[in-house]
Amino acid sequence: MTGEPKTALIAGRGALPAALAQAMAVPPLVASLKGFVPEGLAVDIEFRVERLAPFLRHLGDHGVERVVFAGAVQRPALDPALIDPETVTLLPRLMQAMAAGDDATLRVVLEIFAESGFTVAGVEDVAPGLLPGAGVLVGEVTPRDEADATRAAVIVAALGAVDVGQGAVVAQGLCLAVEALPGTDAMLAAVARLKPGPRPDPSRGRGLFYKAAKPGQDRRIDLPTLGPATLRAAEAAGLGGVAFEAGSVVCLDLPEMKRLAGELGLFLWARG
C-alpha cells in the first residue's frame, strides 16, 4: 500500500501530461479543459471554465486530495449561457487576472484550487526525475558557450520579470532571438532563417538556446519544458547546443534527448 494522496492531473495540450503521468508513483485521475486534449493520454474527466465550481466538487467526490498541472492551455472563449450560479462568483477574479497576464491568471487558478481544499503540487513533488540536476549531459561546453549561457541567462531573467518568455538564443554574446508568445519552435525557426551578416561567423562559436524558469515563478505550475523536438530545431537553427537551468526545466524523454544530442553533434547542459 502507498501513502500517496489521490491526485488529479489537470492536463493541457502537448506531451508533458503523458510523461508526467507515466513518471508518477500512482496513476492520477486525468482531467482536461475542453478543447485542450493532451497527447497520448486518456482523459477521465473533461471540464469547462464556465462550470468550474461543479468540476471542483466532482474532484472532491472522487476522493482527490492533490492536483498537479501540466500542459499548454490558452485562454478559452467563455459561453455566458453555460455559467452556473456557483461559478459566476469565481469569474470576476479569473477575468481580472486574465487581463493582467499569464502569471496573474495562474496565481488565481492556484488560489481557487487551494481554497477548494486541494493541495497544489508541482512536477518536482510528483516526478522529480523529470527535472535534471546540474551537469553537462552530452558533449563539451567551451568557455565561449559558458559566456553565451551567462549572457542568455541575464536576458531570460529580464524577459521573465515582465512575463514575456523563458528562452533566448545567444551566439558570441549577441542575442539572436528571444522567446515570446509564438513559443520556442517559432523562435528557433526564425533563427534558422537568419542570413549571414546580422548573424556572427559560426566558425567562432555557433551559439546556444537557453531555457529557464521565470524569476520568482511559482514552481508548481508552468515550468519550462524541453524535448527531442527542441534539439532537432536547435540543430536546424545552426546552434551548437542547448543549455537550461538545472532543476527548473522539465525534460521529456531525457534518454532520447541525450541520444539525439550525440547524434546531432549538440551539447546538452543543465547549467547550475
* Domains (range + CATH), the chain: 7-126 (3.40.50.20), 131-271 (3.40.140.80)
Q: What is the residue-level pLDDT of the chain in tens, covering all 272 positions?
A: 456 789 999 999 999 999 999 999 899 999 999 999 999 999 999 999 999 999 999 999 999 999 999 998 877 788 989 999 999 999 888 888 877 766 678 888 899 999 999 999 999 999 999 999 999 999 999 999 999 999 999 999 999 988 888 999 999 999 999 999 899 999 999 999 998 888 999 999 999 999 999 998 888 988 999 999 999 999 999 999 999 999 999 999 999 999 999 999 999 999 99
- Edge-first strand order for the sheet with 174-178 is 135-138, 267-271, 241-245, 208-211, 167-171, 174-178
Q: Residues 246, 225, 213, 128: is their CA dihedral positive or negative? A: negative
CA distance 152 to 157: 8
CA distance 159 to 167: 8
State pTM to two decimals: 0.88
CA distance 224 to 208: 17
Query: Of 163, 160, 150, which is closest to residue 213 (Cα–Cα)?
Result: 160
Q: How many residues does this entry show for the chain?
A: 272
